[in-house]
Structure 1
Amino acid sequence: MEDAMTSIAPAPWSLEGSGYILLCRFSEEFIKNHAHMDPRLLRAFNGGLGTLMLVDYQQSNVGPYQELLLIPGRLRLDRRGYFHIPQIYVSSQDSIDNGRKNWGIPKRLATFKMEQKAGYEEIIVTSQEGSKGRFQFKPKGPRVPFTTALLPKAFKRLIQFDDADRCLLTQISGSGKMQWLKVQDINIEASLMAPVSKQHVLAAIKVPDFKLCFPTAEELDKQQLALSVTD
Structure 2
Amino acid sequence: MLEIFGMNEVSVDGWHKVDRLQTTQLPVLPAPWQLTGTGYVMAVRLPERQLDQDCFLDESLRASRLGKIAYVMFVDYQTADCGPYRELLFIPGSCLFSGKRCLTISKIYVSSLSSVVNGARNWGIPKEHCEFDVRYGADGIDRVRAIKHGKVFADLHFTNSGMRLPVHTSLAPARFRTLGQQRNGLTFIYTPRASGHLRRAALLSAEVDPAHFPDFTRGKHLLTCRISDFCMQFPPAAIQPLDLEGDLE
RMSD of aligned alpha carbons = 1.8
Structure 2 distance, partners of 1:198, 1:190, is 10
Q: CA offset at residue 48 of structure 1?
A: 4.3
State which of 106, 114, 125 in structure 2 corresponds to 1:94.
114
**CA gap 1:107/1:10 in 2 versus in 1, 3 angstroms:** same
CA distance in 2, matches of 1:199, 1:71: 14
After TM superposition, the structure 1 = structure 2 runs for residues 23-34 of structure 1, keeping only pairs within 5 Å, are 23-34=43-54
2:245 pairs, out of 207, 226, 229, with: 226
Q: Distance in 2 between matches of 1:151 and 1:81?
A: 16
Could you tell me how far 1:95 is from its partner in structure 2? 0.5
| Structure 2 equivalent of residue 21 of structure 1 | 41
TM-score by length of 2: 0.85
Summarize the Cα distance change of 1:76–1:214 in structure 2 as closer, same or farther, 3 Å threshold: same
TM-superposition CA deviations, 1:187-226 (whole Å, max 9, x none): 1111220111174320000001111111111113532x63
- The structural deviation recorded for 1:170 is 1.0
Gaps of 5+ in 1: none
Identity among equivalent positions (%) equals 28
Q: Aligned equivalents of 1:7 and 1:38: distance in 2?
A: 28
Residue 40 of structure 1 aligns with which residue? Answer: 60
CA contact (8 A) 2:37 2:230 kept: yes
- Letter of the structure 1 residue corresponding to residue 56 of structure 2: H
User: Could you tell me which residue of structure 2 aligns to residue 127 of structure 1?
Assistant: 148
Alpha-carbon distance between aligned partners in 2 of 1:108 and 1:134, rounded to the nearest angstrom: 17
2:162 counterpart SS class: strand
Count of aligned pairs between the two proteins: 228
String of CA shifts for 1:103-144, please: whole Å, max 9, x gaps.
110111111111132121111111236242001011011000
Aligned to 1:61: 81
Using the TM superposition, give the Cα deviation of residue 168 of structure 1 relative to its aligned residue in structure 2, in angstroms: 0.9
Cα 1:152–1:100 shift into 2, 3 Å: same
Residue 154 of structure 1, CA deviation: 2.4
Q: Are the aligned partners of 1:11 and 1:214 in contact in 2 as well (CA < 8 Å)?
A: yes
Contact 2:64 2:247 in 1 (8 A): no
Q: Which amino acid aligns with 1:137?
A: F
Q: Are 1:143 and 2:126 counterparts?
A: no
TM-score with structure 1 length normalisation? 0.91
